[in-house]
Amino acid sequence: MQITIAQLNPIVGDIKGNAQRLIKEARRCHAQGCDLVIFSELYLVGYPPRDLLERRWFIDDVEAAIAELVRASAEFPGTGILFGAPTRTSRRIGAGLHNSAVLIEGGKLIAMRHKSLLPTYDVFDELRYFDPAEGVSPVEFKGATLGISICEDAWNDPALWPGQRLYMCEPISELAARGATVMLNLSASPFYAGKDRVRYDLIASHAKKHRVPFAYVNQVGGNDELILDGGSFLLDAQGRVVAECGHFAEATVSADTAAPGGQAACEPLEEIAAVHDALLLGLRDYLRKCGFTKAVVGLSGGIDSAVTCALAARALGAENVLGVTMPSMYSSEGSVSDSQALARNLGIRIEEVAIAGIYDAYVDAIRPLIPPPPGVTEENIQARIRGNILMAISNEHGHLVLSTGNKSELAVGYCTLYGDMSGGLAVLADVPKMMVYALAEYINRDGEIIPRATIEKAPSAELRPDQTDQDTLPPYPVLDAILELYVEEGLSSSEIAERGFDAQTVAWVVRAVNRNEYKRRQAAPGLKVTTKAFGTGRRMPIAARYEA
C-alpha cells in the first residue's frame, strides 16, 4: 500500500482552513497514485482545542466539515483520507464526544475508530472532553487490514514502561491479535527534549513485536505553550526506518508499506539544537496564530534577554524585532554597550529609554508611603517601570512584548510581577539557567552573535549597587540540579538531600518554589521544552500549607 504521511501545522479552531489544507494535500496525493494519505490526531480542529470542544456550535461545525470532506473525497477515487476529528457519541451519558480517526474515500465514510486511552497526566486533560472507545477493531481497506490507533493508544507498552502501566488494555496488541497487517497511529504529541528517542523506541518496539509495518503521524506546530515537533515516520516490520518527515516543520513523505527499511533507527536529535529549534517554532507560531508580526524585547545586556532577542530575530526576521535598553543609575556600562553590540550583530533596531528620572519621580511621589532606606520595594519599582515602557510600546505599535525570565528564576520567584514578568509570551520560561548558557553557545556556533562579554559576566538584575544573582540564589548549577529533582522528578527535600546536596540549600529552594506559585499563576504563557513545565502541566495550589 502506497501511503503518504502528511505532517501539517493546523490552526486550533480553524476548521474551514484546516479542511481546505486537507483537500489540497489529498488532491496532490491522488495525482501521484497514493492509496492512503494520513493526517494527525484532531487535525481538523488543531491540538489542543480545549474548551472549544464543549461548545455545541463548534461540534456542529466539525460535523458539517466532515460531511463536506466526504463529498469532496469523491474527486479522489481510490485514495483514502484518514484524519483526526472530534465526533459525537451515541450515548446519553459521559462527555458525549470521541477523539476519532475518520477514514473517507470516493465520496463515502468508510470507517471511524476512536481513541481508547485518554491521558490525564502532565498537560493532558482528555477525560474532561472525551469518552473512551468501547472496543478496538481493525479496518479492511484496499487489501490491507489497518490497525488504526490514536496517540496514547500506543503508549501502554509494558516493555517500555515496566511497572508504570496506566491502563488496563493495550490497543496495539489487540489490533495485532485481530489481524492488523499495517499499524497507523495519528498523534498530537508535544515536544520535550529527548522525546523523539522515546517515541521511536516505542513505535519500533510495536513494529518488531507484532511484525507489522507501522506509520506514525505526528502533528507539527506551536499552539499556546505546547510545541508539536512532528518527527513522523514509517517503519518496516523490523522497526527500521522506511521514510521520515523530520522535525519542527511541515513535511509530507510517501512510501510503500511493504518497502524494507534502509536505516536501522531514527537519528536522535541533539538536545540543545532541538530545544533551539523548538523555541523558534513555538515563538513564530505563537505570534503568527495570534495575529502579531512584530516583537519588542527589553535588553539588559544580560544573557537571558540576549538569547530571547536572538531567537526572536531568527524566528520573525530582524526587521520585525525591536530591542529597548532602559538603563538606570545602577546599570553597568555593559548593560547598554553589550545590548548595542547584540543589536548590531542581529541587525535589529534598538532604542534607549533612560529610567533614572522616571524612577526619581516615582519614588518621590510615594515616599510618604515607602520610607527610606531603599530596599526591595525600590528595586521592584525599577523593574515595573521597564515593564510599563515595554507595554506602552506594545500598545502604540502593536509589538508583542517577549518577557525574558528563565525557568530557574521563575521557579524561586527571582522575578518581579508586573515588571520583568510583563509580556505576552515568556520564551525561556521552561529553560533552566544553565541551558540558557548552552543556547547562547549554540546560537554563536558559527560566529559571535551574542557578545562574549554577555556570556561571561556574572548574572545580575542591576537593581542595586554591585548586585549579582548569587547574592540571593545558590550557584545556578546547584539550583538547576535541585529544581530538576523537585519540579520534574517530584522528589522530596530529604530525598534530594540524600543525593548529596546541602540540606539547608535544598530546603530554601523547595520553600521558594512553593511560596511563589502565586507569581507563576500570573506569568505570561511559557513555551514547554522540558518534561515538567510550570503552567498547565503542573497544577499546584496557591492558598496552601505543606512541606515537601
Question: Is the CATH code 3.40.50.620 the one for domain 275-467?
Answer: yes
Burial of 170 per CB tally in 10 Å (0-12, 13-18, 19+): buried
Mean pLDDT across the chain: 95
pLDDT at 160: 66
- DSSP code per residue over 63-123: HHHHHHHHHHGGGSTT-EEEEEEEEE-S-SSS-SEEEEEEEEETTEEEEEEE------STT
Confidence at 475, pLDDT banded by 50, 70, 90: very high
> What percent of the chain has pLDDT above 70?
98
Q: Residue 52 has what pLDDT?
A: 98
Q: Is the pLDDT of residue 458 over 90?
A: no
- pTM for the model stands at 0.96
Q: Would the pLDDT of 81 be above 90?
A: yes
Structure confidence at residue 330 (pLDDT): 86
Any residues with CB less than 8 A from the CB of 86 and at least 6 apart, and which?
A: 42, 45, 49, 53, 59, 62, 97, 98, 99, 100, 129, 130
What lies within 8 Å, CB to CB, of 465 at 6+ separation is 330
SS3 215: strand
Q: Which residue has the higher pLDDT, 460 or 504?
A: 504
H helix and E strand count, the chain? 16, 19
Is 41 annotated in the active site? yes
For residues 402 and 503, the answer to whether their CB atoms sit within 8 Å is: no
pLDDT value of residue 440: 98
Share of the chain above pLDDT 90, in %: 89
Task: Reduce the DSSP state of residue 242 to 3 states and report it.
Answer: strand
Helix (H) or strand (E) holding 223: strand 220-223
Please report which confidence band the pLDDT of residue 258 belongs to, taking 50, 70 and 90 as the band edges.
very high
pLDDT at residue number 334: 84
Distance, CA of 363 to CA of 329 (rounded, Å):
14
**Domain 2-269, CATH class in plain words:** alpha beta
Tell me what pLDDT residue 92 has.
Answer: 85
Does residue 161 register a pLDDT over 80? no
The boundaries of every CATH 3.60.110.10 domain in the chain are 2-269
Q: What confidence tier does 354 reach under pLDDT thresholds 50, 70, 90?
A: very high
Q: How far apart are CA 314 and CA 312, in angstroms?
A: 5
DSSP string, 256-322: ETTSPPSBSSPPPPPHHHHHHHHHHHHHHHHHHHHT---EEEEE-SSHHHHHHHHHHHHHH-GGGEE
Instruction: Reply yes or no on whether the pLDDT at 460 is more than 80.
Output: no
Q: Name, in order, each residue with C-beta under 8 angstroms of 393's C-beta and a sequence gap of 6 or more.
A: 296, 322, 324, 399, 401
Report the distance separating Cα 29 and Cα 11, nearest Å.
22
The count of other CB atoms within 10 Å of the CB of residue 21 is 18
Q: Per 3-state DSSP, what percentage of the chain is helix, strand, and coil (rounded to 5)?
A: 40, 20, 40
Residues 25, 60: contact at Cβ < 8 Å? Answer: no
List every span in the chain annotated with CATH 3.40.50.620.
275-467
Q: State the first-to-last Cα distance of the chain, in angstroms, to the nearest integer.
A: 55
Predicted confidence at residue 266, as pLDDT, reads 84
Point out the catalytic residue in the list 29, 34, 151, 415. Answer: 151
Lowest mean pLDDT among 62-71, 74-83, 212-221, 259-268: 259-268
What are the grid coordinates assigned to 449, written together? 552573535
So what's the pLDDT on residue 478? 97
The stretches of 326-449 forming alpha helices (DSSP H) are 333-346, 356-366, 376-397, 407-412, 433-443
Residue 195, pLDDT > 90, answer yes
Q: Which residue has the cell 508539536?
A: 228
The torsion angles phi and psi of 85, rounded to 5 degrees, stand at: -160, 155
pLDDT greater than 70 at residue 151: yes
Please report the pLDDT score of residue 464 as a whole number: 75
Taking alpha carbons only, the member of 17, 39, 21 closest to residue 245 is 39
Specify the DSSP class assigned to residue 51.
G
Query: In 66-95, which positions are buried (b, 16+ CB within 10 angstroms) versus exposed (e)?
Result: beebbebbeebeebbbbbbbbbebeeeeeb
Catalytic residue among 25, 29, 115, 244: 115
Tell me whether residue 16 is one of the annotated catalytic residues.
no
Sign of CA dihedral 120, 123, 125, 129: negative
What does DSSP assign to residue 457?
A: S
**Does the annotation mark 115 as catalytic?**
yes
Q: Read off the pLDDT band of 481 (50, 70, 90).
A: very high
Supply φ then ψ for residue 507, to 5 degrees: -60, -40
Whole-angstrom Cα distance, residue 305 to residue 405?
Answer: 8
Task: Pick 449 or 329 by higher pLDDT.
Answer: 449
pLDDT at 471 over 90: no
Q: Which one, of 431, 429, 399, 10, lies nearest residue 223 by Cα?
A: 10
Q: 392 by DSSP, 3-state: which?
A: helix
Average pLDDT, stretch 346-367? 96
